[in-house]
Structure 1
Amino acid sequence: MDGQEIIDTVRFISQFHRARGSDEYKLLLERLKELLLSWGIEERQIETIEYSTGGVRYGNFDSTMVWNVKDAELWLEKPRTFLSSFKNCKTSVLFGSHSTNGWRTLELVDETYTGDLRDKAVLVQMNPSKAFKQFVEERGAKCLLVYFMRAQDESIGRTPAQMPDTVNYLSLPHTLKASQHKSFGFSLTYRQYELLKSLTNKNFKVRLFVDASLNVGTLQVLRVRFEGALKKRIGIVAHLCHPNPGANDNASGSALALHLCRELKQKTLGFGVDVILLPEFYGSLPYASQNNDYEFVINLDMVGEDQQKTGSTMMLHETPPLLNTIYDELLYDSMMLFAPTSSDSFSRRFYRSTFKSGSDHSVFENYAVPSPFLGQWPDRYYHTNEDTPDKCDPEMFEWVGKAVLRTVELAPSLPDYIVEQALGRVRSFLKKIVGKPGSDIIESVVKRAHGEKIEPVEPKLHIFPAAEGPLGYEWFDKAGELSEKREIVNLGEVIQLAARYTQDYDATVTFASTYLNVDAKTTQDVIDLLLKNEFLRRIN
C-alpha cells in the first residue's frame, strides 16, 4: 500500500464539512463512490444504506437533527473587531447551531450574570452540553460563546496556554427536543476567550449571524462488499463524520478503509469482507442492530497520526474476553510483524490495551461481535481546526493497512500459535477471578465465547441492560462524584457488556473491576447508579 496516496485521499475527504446526513456529507459519499468505481470496484458491490435521524432513539442515543450550515460570523461590536467566521474556520461555529435569521447584536455577559439571558451572549469556559443545560434549558439563553478543550495534556503541548489560537470542535445538543430551543453559538480560541472575558458584564456587545438549518432527515452508511469462498464475513469500520478538517479524526480511518477496498479487489478471500463508512454511533447503532452476523469487526479510528507532531501512540484496544478474542491476537501479531523499524528497534510507539470506549467497536461488541479497535491516543490536535493532513504519517497507513490485510487473509485458517496465545491470555484472566463472587458465571461465559462446549451457569441476581447498544453518555450527567473516578467512562461501558453477557450482578462487579483493575466498591457504586436510573434493570 502507498501511504502517500492514502494521505492524498485524506486531503480530499478533509475538505468536506462532514455533519451527519448533511448535504456536504452526501456529496462526499457520491464522490467516494466515483473514486471506488474508478478503481474497478463494481457498482453492485457499493451500497448506500439510509437510516432515519432526528426524533428517533437508537438504544441509549437520541439521534440528532440533520444540520446544514452555510455561513456565520462573529464580531465585537465596539470597537468593531473581527473574531471568527465559518468561512475562515469551520470549527468556529458550534455544531448544531440554529439559524439566527439575520444579524443579531447581543450584550456580552458571563456565567455570573443573574439577569435575563434571552438577549445576551453568554461567555463560558465549560463543556457546551453542560452550558446548554445550565444556561439554555434552565435560563432561556439563546447564544453561547464557548471555550472548552477536551483531553488536556501538558506533556504533548495540549493546554489552552500552549495552544492559544486553536479553535476546538464543539457541539450543542441538537436532538429534535433540544433543537426547539433554537440556540446557537461559537467556539472561541483561548486568546479570544481571554479578551472577551475582560469585557463581560460591562455593556460590551457582540454582533453575529448564523445561517444554518436543522431538520429531521436521514443519515447514510456506505458499504462496499467483497465476497469470499465461505459464508462468514468480516467488517472493517471507520466513521466518516466530523467537521472540516478532521484529518486524523477520522478522514485517516476512512481513507485507509477505502484503499483497503482497492487491495481487497485483487485478492481471493476466504471470509467475505464488508468495508463500512458511517456516522459515528448514530450510523453504527442502527446498522449493527440489523447487521450483527460478522465473525469480527476491525474499527479504524484515528490511525494516521505523525507521532512526532501529535504526541500520539498507536493502540490496539482489545475485545473483552466475554467475546472471542482470538482475532484480536491475530491482529496484534500482524501489527508486530509489520511494525516500522529503525536500527533494529521499533520507530513508532505501539501498545496493546484493554477495552476503551468512545468509538464504533463498542456498538458491535454490544451485538456480540468481537471488535478490536486500532487508533492513536493522545493527539495534540484532536477535535480542533489544526487536525490537518500534514499531521499524518504515510508509514502509519502502510503499517496498519498491511496488518489488517494479513488479519483478513489468515482469519479463515488461524495459525495454531495464535489460538494458543489467545487462549493463554484467557486462562491468565480466569486465574485472576478464582474465588471471587460470580466467577463461575464469568468462567462459563468466557469459555463458551472461545469455543468450549459447556453448559451455561444460571445467574443468581439477574441484571440486564435496559437498551440495545452501548451505555452512551446520558448516564454521566447523573454520576455526580463518580464522574471524577479513574476509568469511569470505560468502566460504565464494560459494566454494560458484562451485564449483557453474564446477566448477573456479582459477575458484573467481578468482571468489570478485575478486567479494568478498578476497585470493586467503585464498580458496585456505578452499577447501583445505573440500576437506580434504569440504564440497567433487575430481572425476576
Structure 2
Amino acid sequence: MFKKLSYFLCITIVFISCTNNKPITLNTSNYANVINDQFTGDLAYETTSFVEKYWRVVGNSGFNKSIYKIEEALVKAGYVLEENATENDVLTYRIEKRPLKKPTWESVNAIVEFEGSKEETLLSHATNRNMIALNSYSTPKEGISADVVHIKDFKNITNIDVKGKIVFAETSPYRIYKSAIVNGKAAGIMTYNNPDYLQPEKNTTSIQFRAIPHDSVNKPWAIAMSFSAKERLKKSLEKGKVTLNVKVETNIYPSEELTIIADIKGKEKPKERLVFSAHVQEPGANDNATGVGVALEMASLTAKFIKQKQYQPKRTLTFLWGDEIVSTRRYVQEDSIRAKDIKWGISLDMVGEDTEKTGGTFLIEKMPDPSAIWTRGKDKHTEWGGSKMNLKQMKPHYLNDFLIDKFKAQGKRANWVVSSNPFEGGSDHVPFLRENIPSVLFWHFTDQFYHTDNDRIDKVSKTTLKNVGTTALIAAYTLLNADKNTAKSILSDLEKAAVSRLNEELKQSKIAINKGDSLTTQIKIIDAWKDWYQKSFKTVNDMVSNKKIINKEIKDSEKLIDSISLDIIEKLQNKDLYYD
C-alpha cells in the first residue's frame, strides 16, 4: 500500500511539475508580462557589438559580414532559406543580391602629420575612424606633402590659387569639392563642420563622418577634422606656413548590394503584414547597429514562441535589414500587389542609447499630424529639425497614439523615459509613408555622438535595447492578431487621446491669442486636429473584415469630437473667458 501511494505521489509531482513548466500561450492579456520576461536584450547587444566594429557602407566587407551574421542567427533560430522552404514552413528568409552601379568603399588607415615640426600627429585613423571622407582614394604610400591654404570664405575660393595645396575650410567637403579639387586642382581637402548639438568644445575628439563624390578621374581624398585638430591647425597657421604629410589608405571595388528579409507567415491573413526595417549601413554603434540587433532578437524570440506553440500570428511579420531608405523603398515599390497588403511599417533606427551618456531621450517620430505644422506646447522638434508641412500632407491614423500608449506603459513599468516628436523624416519610415502605408520611426535624439566616431558600444544600453524590443513586439503582436475587440479598444483609446489633444490645443490657443495671434489661425488649428482624429477613427476598420461591426462606435466618437471642438471654438470666440 505504501509503495502504491509513493508511486502515486511521484506521478502527481511529475505531472504538476510538467504542467508548471508548460510554455504560456501568449494573448493580449499577457503579452507585456511574457515578452518582458523573455526578451533579455542579450542577442540585441551581442549583435550590436559585432556590427559596430565595422565602418559599414552598402557592399563593403563590414556591411556584408553583418548581413551574414544576421543570416547565421536566423538559421539558428529556425528560419529556412526561402528557396528550400515548403508550404508548411512558417519561418523563412531570403538574401536579395543586386550588382552595385558604383563601386563600394571602405576605409583602411590614415594619418596626418606636421612636416618639419616637432608637433605630434594631427589626426590618426587608429583613434578617429571617421577622419577619411567617404569615397576618398588612397594617397601614395609615402603620402602627400603639401602646404595648407586656409580658406576662411569658401565663396572666394575661385580667386585663390590652391593648385597642389591642401585646402582647409570650415564647411562640408562636398560643398567645396568641385571648386577645390575639380577646378582648383588642390592636392586634397581638410574640413571641419561639426554641428553645435554634438557639443564639439566638450567632445573635442569627435569627428562626424563626411563624404565627397566618387570621382575615378581625379581620385581625390578628403579629411574630416575634430574640433581639437581644427583648433591646433588654426593655431599653427597663425604662426606661419604649415606643411602637412597626409597618408590615406582605402579600398574601392565593385560589389553587390545585399538585403536580408525574414518572414513569419501569418496563419489566417498571410498577405497582410507588418514590416520592421533596420538599416545596416552607417559607421556607428547606436546608428544603427542597435536597430540591427533589436530586430534580430525580435525575430529570434518570435521564432522561439512559434516553435513552442506559444504564439501564432494571424498576419505576417516581416523583418528587413539593408541599405537605409534604398532597401525599404524597393521593398514597398517593386511589388505593387505585396505593397497593398503592407498594413504597418516601423523603422528601428538608433534604438539602444545610454541616454546618460548620449543625452536626449527615446522618441517615437509620429506620422504627419498637425503638430508638424503647428509645433507648440509639449510638442517639440529635435535638433534634426522638420521641414514645413501643410494639411494635404497629413496622414491620419491610429498608429501614432496606439504606439505612444504602448511605449508609455513600458516606460511606467520600467521607469524609462519615452517621448515623441512631430514628423521630420530621414529614415526608413519615409518610403512607407510615401506609399501611403502607416509608418513611424523609433529613435533617440539629441545624441551628442550622432554620426561621430565616438558612437561606440560604450554608449549603448542593454536595458534600452530590451525596452525598445519588448515594447515593439508587444505592439506588433497586438496588431498582427487584431480583431474587432482590438479595433474597439484602440478606438476607445484614440477617442481619449483626441479629447486630451483638443483640450491641450484650447490651452495653447488661449496663450497664442493673448500674445496677439489671430483667432482665425487658432480655429484653423482646432479644425485641423478635429479632422485628423475623425479620419483616424475610420482607420481602425483595417483590423476587421466587416466594417459594419464598428461603424456605430466610430460615428459616436466622431460626434463627440464634433461637439468638443465646437465648444472649444465658442470658448475661443468668447475672449472674456480667458483674457487676463
Greater alpha carbon shift after TM alignment, 421-430 vs 19-28: 421-430
Deviation of 1:99 (Å)? 2.5
Residues 213 and 390 of structure 1, relative CA distance in 2, 3 Å threshold: closer
Amino acid at match of 1:337: A
Matches within 5 A, 1:397-408: 397-408=465-476
Partner of 1:165: 205
Matches within 5 A, 1:256-335: 256-265=294-303, 266=305, 267-291=311-335, 292-293=339-340, 294-320=342-368, 322-323=394-395, 325-335=397-407
Distance 2:57 2:470 in 1: 30
Confirm or deny: 8 A CA contact 1:54 1:66 kept in the other structure: no
Amino acid at match of 2:188: C
Distance 2:405 2:497 in 1: 14
Partner of 1:420: 492
Deviation of 1:340 (Å)? 5.0
Partner of 2:95: 48
Q: 1:224 aligned to 2:246?
A: no
Partner of 2:167: 122
Q: 1:144 aligned to 2:144?
A: no
Confirm or deny: 8 A CA contact 1:271 1:408 kept in the other structure: no
Distance 2:540 2:404 in 1: 23
Distance 1:223 1:261 in 2: 11
TM-score of the two chains, using structure 1 as the length reference: 0.72
Residues 136 and 282 of structure 1, relative CA distance in 2, 3 Å threshold: farther
Which residues of structure 1 form unaligned runs of 5+? 56-64, 454-540
Structure 2 residue matching 1:396: 3-state secondary structure: helix
Confirm or deny: 8 A CA contact 1:78 1:204 kept in the other structure: no
Confirm or deny: 8 A CA contact 1:72 1:85 kept in the other structure: yes
Distance 2:173 2:134 in 1: 10
Deviation of 1:5 (Å)? 3.9
Confirm or deny: 8 A CA contact 1:50 1:220 kept in the other structure: yes
- Counterpart among 370, 386, 409 of residue 454 in structure 2: 386
Deviation of 1:348 (Å)? 2.8
Distance 1:422 1:136 in 2: 56
Deviation of 1:140 (Å)? 3.6
- Counterpart among 178, 194, 219 of residue 182 in structure 1: 219
Partner of 2:410: 338
Q: 1:353 aligned to 2:421?
A: yes
Structure 1 residue matching 2:230: 3-state secondary structure: helix
Partner of 1:198: 235
Distance 2:45 2:539 in 1: 40
Deviation of 1:448 (Å)? 8.9
Deviation of 1:236 (Å)? 0.4
- Counterpart among 135, 146, 166 of residue 96 in structure 1: 135
Partner of 2:49: 11
Matches within 5 A, 1:353-372: 353-372=421-440
Partner of 1:212: 250
Residues 433 and 234 of structure 1, relative CA distance in 2, 3 Å threshold: farther
Structure 2 residue matching 1:339: 3-state secondary structure: helix
Deviation of 1:237 (Å)? 0.8
Deviation of 1:446 (Å)? 8.1
Greater alpha carbon shift after TM alignment, 426-435 vs 256-265: 426-435
Structure 2 residue matching 1:336: 3-state secondary structure: helix
Residues 29 and 415 of structure 1, relative CA distance in 2, 3 Å threshold: same
Confirm or deny: 8 A CA contact 2:128 2:206 kept in the other structure: no
Structure 2 residue matching 1:82: 3-state secondary structure: coil
Confirm or deny: 8 A CA contact 2:207 2:453 kept in the other structure: yes
Residues 26 and 41 of structure 1, relative CA distance in 2, 3 Å threshold: same
Confirm or deny: 8 A CA contact 2:135 2:213 kept in the other structure: yes
Amino acid at match of 2:422: T
Distance 1:310 1:367 in 2: 33
Q: How many residues align?
A: 428
Identity %: 20
Greater alpha carbon shift after TM alignment, 332-341 vs 273-282: 332-341
Q: Deviations over 1:1-49 (max 9, x none)?
A: 1124422221111112211211221122122211222232223322122
Partner of 2:381: none
Amino acid at match of 2:347: N
Structure 1 residue matching 2:444: 3-state secondary structure: strand
Structure 2 residue matching 1:70: 3-state secondary structure: strand
Distance 1:166 1:257 in 2: 28
Deviation of 1:181 (Å)? 4.2
Distance 2:111 2:212 in 1: 17
Distance 2:348 2:174 in 1: 27
Deviation of 1:238 (Å)? 1.0
Distance 2:332 2:223 in 1: 34
Distance 1:49 1:434 in 2: 50
Greater alpha carbon shift after TM alignment, 248-257 vs 282-291: 282-291
Deviation of 1:371 (Å)? 0.8
- Radius of gyration: which is bigger? 2
Q: Deviations over 1:181-207 (max 9, x none)?
A: 422122222111111123348432111
Confirm or deny: 8 A CA contact 2:115 2:244 kept in the other structure: yes
Partner of 1:476: none
Deviation of 1:84 (Å)? 2.9
Residues 226 and 121 of structure 1, relative CA distance in 2, 3 Å threshold: same
Confirm or deny: 8 A CA contact 2:398 2:540 kept in the other structure: no
Q: 1:84 aligned to 2:123?
A: yes
Distance 1:232 1:268 in 2: 14
Deviation of 1:372 (Å)? 1.2
Residues 380 and 445 of structure 1, relative CA distance in 2, 3 Å threshold: closer
Residues 380 and 203 of structure 1, relative CA distance in 2, 3 Å threshold: same
Deviation of 1:330 (Å)? 2.4
Q: Deviations over 1:504-525 (max 9, x none)?
A: xxxxxxxxxxxxxxxxxxxxxx
Deviation of 1:396 (Å)? 1.2
Q: 1:241 aligned to 2:289?
A: no
Which residues of structure 2 form unaligned runs of 5+? 1-38, 83-91, 306-310, 370-393, 507-519, 542-580
Amino acid at match of 2:418: F
